[in-house]
Amino acid sequence: MSLDISFIGILIGSIMASSVPLILAASGELITERSGVLNLGVEGMMIIGAISGFALMVITDNLFIAIVGSMLSGVIISLIFGFLTQSLLTNHVATGLALTIFGIGLSAMLGKNFVGIPGKEFPILFSSLKESIPFFGPILFGHSIVLYFAFALPFLTNYFLKKTKLGLVVRAVGDSPVSASNQGINVILVRYCCILYGGAMCGLAGAYLSLIYTPQWIENMTAGRGWIALALVVFATWSPIKVLIGALIFGGITILQLHMQAIGFRIPVQFLSALPYLMTIIVLVVISRDSRKIKLNTPTSLGRIFYKEK
Amino acid sequence: MIKIEKRNDVPMALYFFTPFIAIILTILGGGIIFYILGFNPIEALKFYFITPISNLYGFSELLLKATPLCLIAIGLSFCFKSNNWNIGAEGQLTFGAIVGGGVALLFYNQEGFYILPLVILAGAIGGMIFALIPAVLKTYFNTNEILVSLMLVYVSKLLLDYLVVGPWSNPEGFNFPETRQFSDSSRMPLLFEGLRIHAGIFLALAAVMLSWFILYKTYLGFQIKVSGLSLKTAKYAGFKGKTMILVVFMISGACAGLAGVGEITGPIGQLHRMISPDYGFTAIIVAFLGRLNPFGIIFASLVVALTYLGAETAQIFLQIPKYTGQVFQGMILFFLLASDYLLFFKVKILSLKKNELRH
């Protein structure tokens, strides 16, 4: 293995690719949490997005339908969560867990006939530039459109939350639902929208895995990425740009351990595979140690049930 | 016309009745799913919920699967009652099985009455230690216990994988990912000839009785319940919050560890990759369905165990993938949470006539 400059370029490119599902899911969940809703169903929504995207690709042979369909399926499944937590006022944690268990089961059931079918190649953009420019080529070019979208998303999310009126509404609902409601904002409606948006992004994150990253359907293929995305939101202290940084760090760890496995590093494979999970714990400990900092950034009403007497 | 009113207090009878509503709705929902999949819903539901327990063997299998679910859920009820979200019981089960299994492997060629108690004890301690990780991080570093306990599930499964493939794999096992068979002294005694139900069920029943005693008859139980209702009150009353968090996690981990050891010394008899079909996650549903009440949990563990058996039967007879089990389990929890709405709100259906009279 030569550590020349073009190899590092390829390495960075692959780190970016592996961080995409984390960026998408965490950015979506970030908006949901900013509105005061804690949806622990990220893993379930991602896996549903993964199977629906793949199934639609096999059935319709149209990647556009597959991508849009995966987002729609994320919306539909998050609607269950929205209805329960917002209309029936159920506990956010328990409902999110139910969503994950349900989603994993349902995806395996739906995916029964899609195991072992090879995926279709997803078109990549600027493939000629990727080869011709050393170092920057593999970093900037030759990716799928979803990757470019994912890397723009944290900046868009940041702009939305800080510069737009709607963003202010979302933050107001998350920080002080009672005063927002008194201002005439429909708190429940805003929260519904944020939940469905989170569902769409998680669905897309799942589809990225099954259509682009490893184009095939494997049961449980999200492998805990949904949970890591949830941890990323805490890690980022609810700031979109930090989500991007965190996702790249985790993408880096994933790629690093794959490379260490490939070159026959003398540490058992399982220990390397455990690295991203252990890193998540360590990062959470480091971030959460300062409880004031966490409290300052946490949406004040996160996970609390809002009920307006009619 | 429908009118919704907020209730002032929750009627106890309804509190224990709504789980039944949830079960009925789940069965109806399952029928609809089977219909969509192209099966006769009545026939499919019969294969799912009646065929599995229509004979003695099936009934013993039901108890066999309910045993770990009940044990873990009892432990989780301590955490959930005090608002500690330990959702990594699957990891605590796995680590308990690793430690207990390690002790059993030490004695693989020996017999003796003392071996099984040692193995069980090791399993409980293993689960307890593993549960202490999220508890200590929560109390001393303010770390979110949901995420930490869940991440540790993946870590424990990878550790088990490493052990059964690597250092603990059976030297005469042709490189299969499994350990040696445990000696007979490390195995749970079977209760009946020809059935798989084993003495582990007494561990579960003992846990039920003990948890009832702790929760309802001791100061610790009082503390746990008060902290669950209001952290502020608990602080005002001077309860030691940190100690309590550590204790509930230790109880929960020990129960999950016992469940793990029950599986490997009971039906399995060795360590391999697949020691638990996600009992640790499903037990979360059992705990809620049983209303975090020790006797409710017995009932709930039987109901949820039936979804496992039903999924296996349906897989054999209808070629439906066994993951329908998880779909049913998810639905139970959805419907249970939804039916809780009835606890807090009164739904009145007013007839039009009455309405007119009022005007």
Domains along chain A with CATH numbers: 5-297 (1.10.3470)
pLDDT on residue A3:
58
DSSP string, A235-287: HTTT-HHHHHHHHHHHHHHHHHHHHHHHTT-SS-HHHHHHHHHHHHHHHHHHH
| Residue pairs spanning A and B at CB distance below 8 A | 133
Maximum Cα–Cα distance across chain B? 86
Using the Cβ of A115 and the Cβ atoms of chain B, whether some distance falls under 8 Å is answered with: no
> Do residues A217 and A54 make contact, with C-beta atoms less than 8 angstroms apart?
yes
- Cα-based distances in Å from B313 to A33, A115, A308, B29, B331: 41, 22, 46, 19, 19
pLDDT reading at B211 higher than 90: yes
Count Cα neighbours of B215 within 13 Å in the Cβ-side half-sphere. 23
pLDDT reading at B359 higher than 50: no
Beta carbons of A94 and B337 less than 8 Å apart = yes
Beta carbons of A105 and B159 less than 8 Å apart = no
**Averaged over A56-85, what is the pLDDT?**
95
**Amino acid making up residue B96:** G
CATH number of B207's domain:
1.10.3470
**Averaged over B5-19, what is the pLDDT?**
82
pLDDT on residue A1:
46
Closest Cα of chain A to B91: distance in Å? 13
Chain B residues with CB-CB distance to A90 below 8 A: 337-338, 340-341
| Mean pLDDT of chain A, nearest integer | 89
Alpha helices in B230-323 (DSSP H): 231-236, 241-263, 279-289, 294-318
Q: Band the pLDDT of A300: cuts 50, 70, 90.
A: confident
Task: Find the residue in A nearest to B164 (Cα).
Answer: A270
Beta carbons of A281 and B344 less than 8 Å apart = no
Domain extent for B206: 2-358
pLDDT digits (tens, 9 = 90+) for B129-138: 999 999 999 9
Using the Cβ of A51 and the Cβ atoms of chain B, whether some distance falls under 8 Å is answered with: no
| 3 state SS of B178 | strand
pLDDT digits (tens, 9 = 90+) for B58-72: 999 999 999 999 999
Using the Cβ of A193 and the Cβ atoms of chain B, whether some distance falls under 8 Å is answered with: no
User: How many domains would you assign to chain B?
Assistant: 1
pLDDT reading at A161 higher than 60: yes
Beta carbons of A84 and B338 less than 8 Å apart = yes
Pick A153 or B34 by higher pLDDT: A153
pLDDT on residue B351:
59
pLDDT digits (tens, 9 = 90+) for B310-349: 998 888 888 887 788 889 999 999 999 998 888 878 777 6
